[in-house]
Every structure is written in C-alpha cells, then in structure tokens.
Structure 1
Amino acid sequence: MTKSMLERDPLKMGIIGTVAIIVVLVLAFNFDRIPFVDRGETMHAEFSDASGLAAGDAVQVAGVKVGEVGSIKLSGAKVSVEFKADTGKQQLGRDTTAAIKVETALGRRYIELTPRGTGDLGGTIPLARTTAGYDITRSLEEVTQKVASTDKTNLSTALDQISSVAEELPPDLQSSIRGLSRLSETIGSRDDAVRQLLANSGSVTKVLADRNQQLVSLFGDGQTLFAALNTRAATIHNILIQARQVADALTGIAVDNDQTLKSALDQLNGVLDILNNNYDNINRAISGLQSFTTQVGEAVGSGPFFGVLLQNILPANISGQQSNSPGGPR
C-alpha cells in the first residue's frame, strides 16, 4: 500500500534527499572526469614525428584546453594521433592546422589547434597541415652537418670576388662589401678552429642525446626541490608571523610595566657605575688574589697540614701582658 508523503518517516526522507543532492553535486563538479561520458568529438591528426607527445597530454585552442590526447600510433612513415576536442561554439574549419608544442620546461607537450577556413574539419588533419615539435638536439645536429659540409675555400674565394667590384659601387654598399671581405678573411684564417668548434659541437650534441633521460630526471628532481622550497617558504612565513606576535606581546608587556622596568634599569645603571668607578680596585684585588692563591697552594702542598699567620687578630692590650706571651713574667 502506497503511503503519502506525510505518512512517511521524515528522517529517512531527509537522509535520502541529502544523499541524492550530494551525488548530483559530485557528478556536476566532476562531469568531465566521468569515463563513460563523451567529452567531445574524436579527431585524428597526422604528424611526421611524435616529438615526445604522450597519451593524456592537453589539446588547446588559443591557449584554452579543449580536450586531451587519446592514443598515438605509427602509421607507415607518419604518426597518427587520436584525440578528443570539445570546442563548443568555436567551429573548426576544413583548413584547421595542428602543431605539437612544448608546454613546460620539463618537456611536456600539447597539441595546438588553429581554426581556419569554413565548413567541417572532417575528423582528420592531414600531414600537410600539421607541424611536429621542435627538437633542439636534432636541430643542432643538422646545423653541425650543414656547416661542416660547407666548402670554406670556395666561400672565401666568392667573397673575395665580390669585394673586387666594390670600387664601382656606392659608398654605403662598399662599406658592406668591405665587411664581407673581412669576414671572409677571418673565416679563412680560422678554418681549423671552426672545424674544431664544429667537432666539439657534435660531441656536445651526442652527449645531450645520450643523457636525455638523465636530463629529464634532473628536471623532475628540480621540480621536487621547488615544491619542497615552497613548503619551507610557508613554514618560514608562519614562523615570521609567530615572531611578530611575540614581539607585539613583549611590546605590550614593556608598556604595561614601564615604571617597574625603568626603576630596575636605574638600579642596574647605578650598580654598573659603582663597578666602573672601582675598576682599578677590582683589578688590584684580582692580581693580589693570584699571588695569594699561589702561596696557599705551596703551603698546602708541603704536607697534610699548613700554617697560617693572622696578624693583629686580637688587640695587644686586651687584658694586659699575659704570662705566656713573649716578654711576659716568668
């Protein structure tokens, strides 16, 4: 038999209602993290190189995250990247481009989408409209190879031939040509040094490539260090706040006990004045104490006894001449 709302237990109804509200709020704040909820349109992009991109990396449009990378697969001579993007009202045209860029100093990458053109994107961005990430190691290797393969003798000859016609040129252009001529002479005279520099650059590039994982680990440790420093900074901040509170409390105590402290300080100043005025006497007493201590040590060290002479301990005329005193009656 169905009960009316008034006949049901209000405590149970309140608990059920509270739980339902909490569940709704949790789902609302974590809607984009629910695995079975579609968070955008699935798209694909073809790149010539993955450039360190990994699953879970962000997908951005104009600096705003709109999705994340799902999977990365090798497709022949290119890389196929699957990602989801929810651009809302922003339309991705048929000429939209994609580029792999660096997001952090530790090498984390992301895909930057640039909407272009009209119509529908079609779900796949071809290789012609994508750009792989910048790899400094590979770029250094290419520069080293290009410069090393340059015929410096022919380059120097060509620059010399250009400088030979400088006399027929306007003054401004003559100055530029003379600069090129001096550059040619410098390159020619430093040929061996340039070759050595390029060889060393190649060695540095190889070391960087061999130590890639160690560098990534080093940057990761640096991030841990910065996090620890931030934690210590908060601790130091709390210590400074507490020190300020202690200083304020001491200031209040000093204000409340101003007269008492003033009297005590005055007495202390008086004692210090007495000590300063008798500085020489104190020094003489200490000097005499040194010789006294030495003599007492010698007396005690002579055996299990010592003798002491106390002069004028009693007045000589206290009871007249005694029978046993020196010079007395026999």
Structure 2
Amino acid sequence: MKPLRERNQATIGVITLVVLCLAATGAFFSKELLGNGESYSAHFTESAGLTSGNEVHAAGVKVGEVTDVSLDGNRVLVDFTVDGVRLGRQTTASIRIKTLLGEKYLQVTPRGSGELDPAKTIPTSKTTAPFDIPEAVTELTRTAGRIDTDRLAKSFRVMSKTLEGGTPEMGKALKGLSRLSKTVASRDEKLAKLLDNAGGVSKIAKERNEEVRTLIADGNLLLTELQRRKDAIDSLLRGTRELSTQVRGMIAENSKQLRPALQELDKLTGMLQRNQDTLRDSIKALAPYIRGFTNTTGSGQWYDGYLCGWVPPPISAGPVQTAPKKCEVPVPEEHNSPGGGS
C-alpha cells in the first residue's frame, strides 16, 4: 500500500471535501429520498382549519402528515401519507384539535380486514370534523335572539290556567313554570346583552382566525426548519466522527513511517533549544563588554581608557620610586564622568 504522505495531498483533500458534502446533502434530503410512506385521501364536509403539513396520528402516534387540502365540489379533499401502519377497508378519519391555539391534526383509525386501497377515497360517511366553538356560539346567539320572551311567558300563563283544574301537583308545577317564565322575561334585556356580547366575542375570534392560523403555520415552518437543521448537524457530526475514526486508523497503519520522522523532529527541536541556550549565555556574557565599550565612547570626541603595562616595572631606590602601584584592571562604574586620556 502506498503511504499517504507519498500521495497527492491536494487530491486527497478534494475527495474528502466531496465525500463530506455528499454525506451532508444526503442527510438533509433523506426524507425526500426515502419517501413519506403510502398516500391516501379522504373526503370531509369541511376543512375545520386543517392545512398541508399537519400531522397524521394513529393510536396517538405520528405516522405521517397531510400533503394537500383542496376543495372537491361541495366537499373538502384531504390527501395524506401514512408510514408503517396497516389500514383496513373500514378505516375512519377525523380532524382533531391538537392545541388550545387551534392547531389541528388528522386522526386515522384502522378498522376492518384487508388493505385500504390508496386509489379509493375515504367517504364522508367515515370521516368527522371537530366541533367549532365560535360557530356554535354564533348560532346560539342567532337562535336565542329570535325568541319572543313575552309571548313565551304568556303561553306559560295560559297553559297554567288551562290546567288549573288538574291535580294539585300539576298546578304547583305549572305555577312554578309560570314564575320561571316571568323570571326569564324579567332578565330578557340582560340575556340579550349577554348573547350580544357572546356574538361579538365569536365574531372577533372568527375575524382573527386567519391571523392565528398564519401564526401557527409560521411556527410550524420554523420548527420544521429547526428540525431539519438539527438533523443536518447530527449527520455532519456523525460524518466527522467517522472521518476521525478513519484518520486514527490511517495513523495507526502508518505509525512505522511516522515514528522515525517524529524522532528526528524531536532531535531537531532539542538541538535548536541548545543553540538557543548558547545564544542566551553569549548575550549575557557580552553585556559587561558592551557597558565598558559604551563608557569608553560616551565622552563625545574623546575616548576614556586605561593603559596598563606601558610603563617600566616598579623601581624603589631610596627616594626614587616609579610605578608604586601594580597594574590592575579598573572596575567600570555605573556612571563614569568624562575625563582626560586618549
């Protein structure tokens, strides 16, 4: 096998980058490459806020997602995918509320024997839509607003008089019913105001329905994008770990060739360290000479120096004495004042 250091390093680097890019791309589009399961469709009487991208659940577990919601005549056609779950011929589907903000999901209940034909649409007789509270309150407001409470109370009084000759229990019951009608009539204005307020609340909720739906859809898109980025980062980390494992294996395979080179490199660094120590000691030893030379040439156009050995040796003959002191090298001071001598 040809050692790695003898191969073209640029080619190896390009191949490694291409492999990493292909791995990251495959992980990012793994969902599209592997597919989303079997496709089915169902008819509903209304969409109830269900949109493309909502989850599909079976027995409380996510098994797919809604791919499209469109109008099919006087019905709503919902296309969805299911992965890993067998759907029988009597399978039912229903739109459920997932969160308090109104997010929906599609619930499928596998029933019956055999396999559900993906080409056949689940009919409306086997699908249900959720109960919408704002619409129900609005309808209640309309119905209650059409009730004539005065005529209702009058009807109760007439019925009470008609049955007055009956049993005492019946009479008491009818009197109680009459008092109830009077109470309802006396609270007519307050009930009407309450129903009007309820109608206003339901109207506001209906007007903000699209905004809330858009907010939820944008939140779903953000969470989906975050999940995709997470998957891509996970795939990149897995590829990095695999590359690290391969590099360690490559180093282990080429350890015999790398060990001598590392040993020589260690020797070289040791020699450089010794040379550095020698240079440091030389510079340190040169410091006194530099100071002395600086003192010698620090008097402008004059040179300060000390000449030793140019005079005859000491002579002592009675009163005649020469060079009474020995020739000693003077110790340079920290700060020398300029003096005579050349």
Q: What TM-score do the two structures reach when normalised by structure 1?
A: 0.51
Do the aligned partners of 1:32 and 1:39 also contact (CA within 8 Å) in 2? no
Q: Deviations over 1:20-46 (max 9, x none)?
A: 79977996x77862x132221100011
Q: Does 1:44 align with 2:45?
A: no
C-alpha RMSD over aligned residues: 4.2
The match for 2:116 among 115, 121, 130 is 121
Deviation at 1:47, TM superposition (A): 1.2
Deviation at 1:115, TM superposition (A): 2.0
Match in the other structure for 1:288: none
Deviation at 1:53, TM superposition (A): 1.4
Matches for 1:25-64 after TM superposition, within 5 Å: 33=31, 35-64=32-61
Deviation at 1:119, TM superposition (A): 2.7
Deviation at 1:182, TM superposition (A): 3.9
Across the two proteins, how many residue pairs are aligned to each other? 210
Matches for 1:250-289 after TM superposition, within 5 Å: none
Deviation at 1:142, TM superposition (A): 1.0
Q: Does 1:97 align with 2:92?
A: yes
Deviation at 1:191, TM superposition (A): 2.2
Deviates more, 1:69-78 or 1:104-113: 104-113
Match in the other structure for 1:81: 78
Matches for 1:55-204 after TM superposition, within 5 Å: 55-86=52-83, 88=84, 90-123=85-118, 124-153=121-150, 155-157=152-154, 159=156, 161=159, 167-168=168-169, 180-204=177-201
Do the aligned partners of 1:137 and 1:209 also contact (CA within 8 Å) in 2? yes
SS in 1 for 2:53: coil
Do the aligned partners of 2:103 and 2:216 also contact (CA within 8 Å) in 1? no
Structure 1 unaligned spans of 5+:
1-5, 224-330
Asked which structure has the greater RCO (Cα within 8 Å, sep 6+), the reply is 2
Larger-Rg structure:
2
SS in 2 for 1:36: helix
| Equivalent-residue separation in structure 1 for 2:177 and 2:218 (angstroms) | 48
Do the aligned partners of 2:93 and 2:127 also contact (CA within 8 Å) in 1? yes
| Equivalent-residue separation in structure 2 for 1:68 and 1:134 (angstroms) | 22
SS in 2 for 1:139: helix
Q: Deviations over 1:116-142 (max 9, x none)?
A: 222332332111221223332212111
Q: 1:17 to 1:126 in 2, by over 3 A?
A: same
Match in the other structure for 1:325: none
Q: Identity of paired residues, percent?
A: 37
Q: Deviations over 1:83-127 (max 9, x none)?
A: 1111x2x43222222111222233221101122222332332111
| Equivalent-residue separation in structure 2 for 1:19 and 1:222 (angstroms) | 34
Q: What TM-score do the two structures reach when normalised by structure 2?
A: 0.49
Structure 2 unaligned spans of 5+:
221-342
